[in-house]
Chain A
Amino acid sequence: MRILKDIYQFSGESYGYIPSGPIGDNVFVIKGKDALVMIDSGGEEEEVKIIDDGLKYWGLSNYPISHVLICHGHAWHMGNAHIFRKRGAKIVAGLDDAEAIEIGDYRVHDSPPFKTKPYIPCIVDMKVKDGDIIEAAGLEFEVIALPGHTPGSVCYKLFMDGKTIFFSGDAVTVGPECKFSVLGWSGSAGYDREKYFESIKKISKMHTDIILPSEYQLCLKDGWKILQDSYLRALLEWRQPAEYDD
Chain B
Amino acid sequence: MEIVRNVYRVAGPPYGTHQNVYLIKGKDALVMVDTGIDAEELAVIDENIVYWGLKDYPISHVLITHSHYDHCANAHILRKRGAKIVAGPSDAEGMELGDDRTASYAFTHKKKFVPCPVDLKVKDGDIINAAGLKIKVIHVPGYTRGSVFYKFVTEGKIILFTGDVIKVNFERHNFRLGAKLGWSGGMDYDRDLYFETIKKISSMKADFLLPGHLEPCMREGWQILRDAYTVARYEWHNQPSCTLDKSKINR
Contact = CB atoms under 8 A, between A and B. Distances in A.
A221 B15 contact: yes
A222 B218 contact: no
A239 to B, nearest CB: 24
B205 to A, nearest CB: 15
B13 A16 contact: no
B14 interface: yes
A213 to B, nearest CB: 11
Contacts of B213: 177
B195 to A, nearest CB: 25
B38 to A, nearest CB: 15
Contacts of B1: 1-4, 220
B217 A14 contact: yes
Contact of B14 (A5, A24, A219): A219
A17 interface: yes
Interface residues of B, number: 26
Interface in A35-54: 50
Given A2-B1, A13-B170, A176 B218 contact: no
Interface residues of A, number: 25
Given A177-B13, A220-B14, A220-B15, A15 B214 contact: no
A120 interface: no
A60 interface: no
A76 B241 CA distance: 43
A177 B180 CA distance: 15
The A interface is mostly helix, strand or loop, or mixed, namely mixed
Nearest to A2: B2
A181 to B, nearest CB: 13
Contact of B44 (A2, A13, A177, A221): A221
A17 B177 contact: yes
Contacts of B223: 16-17
B170 A22 contact: yes
A96 B3 CA distance: 36
A217 B218 CA distance: 14
Contacts of A221: 14-16, 44
A210 B223 CA distance: 31
Contact of A1 (B3, B16, B170, B175): B3
Which of B168, B170, B218 neighbours the largest number of chain A CB atoms within 10 Å of its CB?
B218
A177 B20 CA distance: 10
Contact of B16 (A13, A16, A222): A222
Contacts of A1: 1-4, 218
Interface string B80-97: 000000000000000000
B248 interface: no
Contacts of B175: 21-22, 24, 113
A217 B18 CA distance: 13
A113 B14 CA distance: 27
Contacts of B4: 1, 57
Interface string B165-199: 00010101001110000000000000000000000
20 contacts: A1-B218, A5-B51, A13-B215, A14-B168, A14-B216, A15-B219, A16-B223, A17-B177, A21-B175, A22-B176, A24-B170, A24-B172, A50-B219, A57-B4, A176-B214, A177-B13, A178-B13, A178-B15, A221-B15, A221-B44
Interface of A: 1-5, 13-17, 21-22, 24, 50, 57, 113, 176-178, 217-222
Given A3-B1, A16-B223, 19 more contacts: A1-B1, A1-B2, A1-B218, A2-B3, A13-B215, A14-B216, A14-B217, A16-B177, A22-B177, A24-B170, A24-B175, A176-B13, A177-B13, A217-B13, A217-B215, A219-B14, A220-B15, A221-B16, A221-B44
